[in-house]
Amino acid sequence: MTIAPAVAAWFRENGRDLPWRRPGFTAWGTLVSEVMLQQTPVVRVVPRLEQWLERWPTPADLAASPASEAVRAWDRLGYPRRALALHAAAVAITERHGGVVPEDVPSLLALPGVGDYTARAVAVFAHGHRHPVVDTNVRRVLARAVEGLAEPWAPNARRDLPLMESQLPADEAEARVVSAGVMELGALVCVARSPRCDVCPLLDRCAWVGAGRPEHVGPRLRTQARFEGSDRQVRGLIMAELRASDVPVRAHEVEAVWPDAAQRERALAGLVRDGLVTGTADEGWELPS
């Protein structure tokens, strides 16, 4: 039994009113939102996304700004390499596609920093094409409702995409609603810990519930590593220092952000390697131009 009709009906009633779901939201906005949402929760993305699109409503607007401004505007969304990638994508869209976000998955995939998930998400949610789109939330719903497993497997395109494809209606517009609906169901109801089966539209057809909610067998997927004390935290502190300064940040100022010299040096070297920081200890450090 397909999960599509019940998910679509539930989503039409219960889907959150989010900027990227509103009529008239641009394909560029969808691309920006998908990149921001990759590793940042919705509540933190929405205000930053609105500011971003107000400042850079088109790819050409962002392409005309220095990459350092994109990194600065990224602020505390985390994983700031995404800001550099978005800037590079804006330049590529402007130069190769006349400023119009491409529609087909191969052209989207050819953009800097755009991976398979993002390319599919933009093709589906911005342009209305019919493709399976599978993120962590979707994989969890498929694992439970369709495969009868307590926990999802690790991302695996050869397993994920045909499985989601088998659940999509033939009609493009309806397939888009189902894709958004499965994602939303995984975010709000079929959550990782304590799924809310009592309010789930799939309760009567969920394979996992039907099988008596069997326990997960085997190792669990790794959850995100601890942030406190991590190199990620040190990178974030260095980036905050650089974002707040219009002039190169001196070595002693970088030293003040974190006491462990080895960890600080490792974090700084990683930022330089990723192209997020330029400069030298003598001349000071700054965001890329």
Q: By the criterion CB under 6 A, which residues form the site for ligand SF4?
A: 141, 144-145, 189-190, 195-197, 200, 202-203, 206, 208-209
Are 214 and 150 in contact by the 8 Å Cβ rule? The answer is: yes
Task: List helix spans (H) across the chain.
Answer: 4-14, 27-37, 42-55, 59-63, 67-74, 81-96, 105-109, 116-121, 136-141, 157-165, 172-188, 207-210, 231-243, 251-255, 261-273
Smallest distance, ligand SF4 to C-beta of residue 200, A: 3
Q: Does the active-site annotation cover 228?
A: no
Q: Copy the structure tokens of residue 158.
A: 């050869």
Closer by beta carbon to ligand SF4, 86 or else 190: 190
Smallest distance, ligand SF4 to C-beta of residue 154, A: 19
Closer by beta carbon to ligand SF4, 110 or else 209: 209
Name the catalytic one among 13, 34, 165, 215. Answer: 34
Residue type at position 72: R
Closer by beta carbon to ligand SF4, 47 or else 214: 214
CB atoms within 10 A of CB 124: 22
Smallest distance, ligand SF4 to C-beta of residue 201, A: 8
**Any bridge partners for residue 279, and if so which?**
285
Smallest distance, ligand SF4 to C-beta of residue 3, A: 8
**Any bridge partners for residue 249, and if so which?**
285
Closer by beta carbon to ligand SF4, 130 or else 144: 144
Are 7 and 185 in contact by the 8 Å Cβ rule? The answer is: yes
Residues with catalytic function: 34
